[in-house]
A = this chain, B = another copy of it.
Amino acid sequence: MGIAIIGTGITRFGELWDKNWEELVLESTKEASESANLDLTEIDSCYVGNMNLSRFEGQDHIAPRINEILGIGKVVRSEAACASSSVALKLAFNELELASLKKENKVILVIGFEKMTDRVTQNATEILASASHYDTEVINGATFPGLYGLLASRYLHETNAKEEDLHAVAIKNHKNAILNEKAMFRKEINLEDFKLEVASPLKLLDCSPISDGSASLILTTEEYARQLDVDYVKLECIELATSSISLAKRNDILVLDSAKRASETAYKKAKISPKDIDVIEIHDCFTIAEILNLEACNFAKRGEGYKIVRTLEPYEEINKRKPPIPYLIDGKEIYVNTSGGLKAKGHPVGATGAAQIVEVANQLLGRCGKRNVDCKIGAALNIGGTGGSAVFSILKRPW
């Protein structure tokens, strides 16, 4: 028996000026508890992932504030930059595995959120940069667009990929987001829109946006999920890996080592190969990240991820297709970022990991409406920074 996701909730992602972070947390959590048909009082403990409420909003010590909002008596906060709420989910998974072995009925809430657009005393990009190596990267002026710009430069230099291959990732994800009412950007973009350069070779539209949002998950043991008689998906496994934080310390700058290790361990545990996956949310904070992460998750060899993107060719015609748009990987249609991804759904950093799982769980449960695809096995890859942290999850239908 395993771990069950019985509730999912997510706010709209975007510049949500009319809501504060507490309202966002409450909104996604209410949606999750309603979908699980559970009252908040039935929750035993909570893990909350948030990157930096302290610098965005002045508030550290998030756990007891969550207690004030939701009344939960045991709350733990984890931080791993953009992978903060995936780490929270991993911790919840550990606690539930223990509960399952001890034959305890336990219900755990996982929340991921970030409020990035209000009261920013510092530039948001400057706050986010704190997730790279402060003393060598940040202090010398690095930002995340800059660091991913370096990765993209090197990738274009070493491989036959072209800037258009990067842009095609964004065009696909924007197209997918049109069917996601919670997404931040629900409009098509085209190759000719990639004009404004942010960090060569990355254009503005190669970058995910600064967003507000919250996502919540309710989990329990499979045994208890059956007792509760609620629909659920199995969180088959969730694997965490930590790597060096700075690009300079990587053996191979183009291999996101943590994502590679996390996914390999997960595949082994779940006894599946990448090709068994039908739908996956892959961390695409920048378009180059989706390509590097496709490689790290073993959908392609090093330096060949762009060839997967090329299955969308001709890029001028992506928008003529009906979303969600799959990649063709070794002859199989695999859906990557049906939600729109970080690129178009939005990237409230602490929320992203939980939001990915919300999407994949809802795909498996058939709750994604017009963007639902035929799927039995789903996955998610969430990374922090330039890949210093990675969490890879595999979800399955129990039926």
- Nearest chain B CB to A88 CB, angstrom units: 10
With contacts A57-B134, A138-B58 taken as known, whether A64 is within 8 angstroms of B244 at the C-beta atoms is yes
Chain B residue at minimal CB-CB distance from A245:
B64
- Interface segment among A34-42, A69-77, A176-184: the answer is A69-77
Q: Is the CB of A132 within 8 A of B245?
A: no
- Any B CB within 8 A of the CB of A54: yes
- Interface segment among A90-98, A152-160, A216-224, A356-364: the answer is A90-98
Q: Is the CB of B80 within 8 A of A76?
A: yes
Inter-chain contacts of A94 with B (CB < 8 A): 91, 94-95, 98
- Nearest chain B CB to A135 CB, angstrom units: 8
Inter-chain contacts of A384 with B (CB < 8 A): 61, 63-64
Tell me the bound Cα distance from A246 to B87 in angstroms: 27
- Any B CB within 8 A of the CB of A389: yes
- Any B CB within 8 A of the CB of A310: no
Residue from B66, B101, B130 in contact with A242 in the complex, judged by beta carbons closer than 8 Å: B66
Q: Is the CB of A240 within 8 A of B388?
A: no
Q: Among A57, A95, A130, A258, find the residue whose CB has the most chain B CB atoms closer than 10 A.
A: A130
Q: Is the CB of A79 within 8 A of B62?
A: yes
Chain B residue at minimal CB-CB distance from A257:
B73
Chain B residue at minimal CB-CB distance from A58:
B134
With contacts A54-B55, A55-B55, A249-B68 taken as known, whether A61 is within 8 angstroms of B241 at the C-beta atoms is no
Tell me the bound Cα distance from A363 to B74 in angstroms: 29
- Any B CB within 8 A of the CB of A78: yes
Inter-chain contacts of A68 with B (CB < 8 A): 133, 244-246, 249
Inter-chain contacts of A77 with B (CB < 8 A): 78-80, 87
With contacts A58-B130, A130-B60 taken as known, whether A87 is within 8 angstroms of B76 at the C-beta atoms is yes
- Nearest chain B CB to A22 CB, angstrom units: 9
With contacts A60-B52, A388-B63 taken as known, whether A240 is within 8 angstroms of B74 at the C-beta atoms is yes
| Interface of A (DSSP majority class) | mixed
Tell me the bound Cα distance from A358 to B275 in angstroms: 48
- Any B CB within 8 A of the CB of A81: yes
Inter-chain contacts of A241 with B (CB < 8 A): 73-74
Q: Is the CB of A76 within 8 A of B73?
A: no
Q: Is the CB of B61 within 8 A of A242?
A: no
- Any B CB within 8 A of the CB of A227: no
- Any B CB within 8 A of the CB of A67: yes
Inter-chain contacts of A135 with B (CB < 8 A): 59
Inter-chain contacts of A79 with B (CB < 8 A): 60-62, 77-79
Q: Is the CB of A51 within 8 A of B58?
A: no
- Any B CB within 8 A of the CB of A385: yes
- Any B CB within 8 A of the CB of A261: yes
Tell me the bound Cα distance from A38 to B69 in angstroms: 44
- Nearest chain B CB to A295 CB, angstrom units: 20
- Any B CB within 8 A of the CB of A351: no
Residue from B51, B72, B76, B87 in contact with A60 in the complex, judged by beta carbons closer than 8 Å: B51
With contacts A59-B134, A97-B98 taken as known, whether A73 is within 8 angstroms of B242 at the C-beta atoms is yes
Question: Which residues of A line the B interface, CB within 8 A?
Answer: 51-52, 54-55, 57-68, 72-81, 87, 90-91, 94-95, 97-98, 101-102, 130-135, 138-139, 240-246, 249, 258, 261, 384-385, 388-389
Closest 4 CB pairs of A and B: A64-B388, A64-B245, A61-B131, A60-B130
- Please name 17 pairs of A and B residues whose Cβ atoms are closer than 8 Å in the assembled complex, sorted by A: A52-B60, A54-B54, A54-B55, A60-B131, A61-B131, A63-B242, A64-B384, A64-B388, A64-B389, A65-B133, A67-B243, A68-B244, A73-B241, A76-B80, A76-B91, A91-B94, A98-B101
Given contacts A60-B130, A62-B79, 11 further A-B contacts (CB under 8 A): A54-B54, A54-B55, A59-B134, A67-B243, A68-B245, A73-B241, A75-B389, A76-B78, A76-B87, A91-B91, A98-B101
